[in-house]
Amino acid sequence: MHSPIGETLHQLLHAYKRAMRDGYATAGIELSVAQIRMIKGIASHPGTSAQDISARARQDKGHIARLIKDLESEGLLTRYPHPQDSRYRQLELTPAGSTMAERIRTVEAEAGARMARALPETDIKRFVELAESMIVNLETHENPQ
């Protein structure tokens, strides 16, 4: 008999999080999960603003502002005025921040490879498709008929 889908997902999520924590520790990455997500977000959207990150991450603007301040003080990101609207600041990783983003990508790639070890590519592709569909299902606010 199979475990309920929620329990299986819960176990997978926790195993993945453990693998990520171990990988970050081994790589000497001493950032919080929120800081790591911020670096990844800026790396994938250079020139983004705090407001954009807040909306994408569905996080409080004050929390995002604190993360930006912390990462800026660590020398991992910089802010500069938006060219069309000086009220807004765009965010960019510093060279040290870009190096950190690459280290994070490496850890995540290694954890992903461990997770998918010995699985056929077709199974991995199907898993991703199913997971994406489940995300849409959970994020859709309409009641299914």
pLDDT tens per residue across span 104-145: 999 999 999 999 999 999 999 999 999 999 989 988 865 555
- Overall fold of domain 13-109: Arc Repressor Mutant, subunit A (1.10.10)
| Measured distance CA(105)–CA(133) in Å, rounded | 24
pLDDT digits (tens, 9 = 90+) for 35-82: 999 999 999 998 888 888 888 888 888 888 899 999 999 999 999 887
pTM of the predicted structure, to 2 decimals: 0.82
Q: What's the whole-number average pLDDT of the chain?
A: 90
117-125: long-range pairs with CB below 8 Å, 24+ = none
Q: Which pLDDT belongs to residue 86? A: 75
Q: Give pLDDT, residue 142.
A: 59
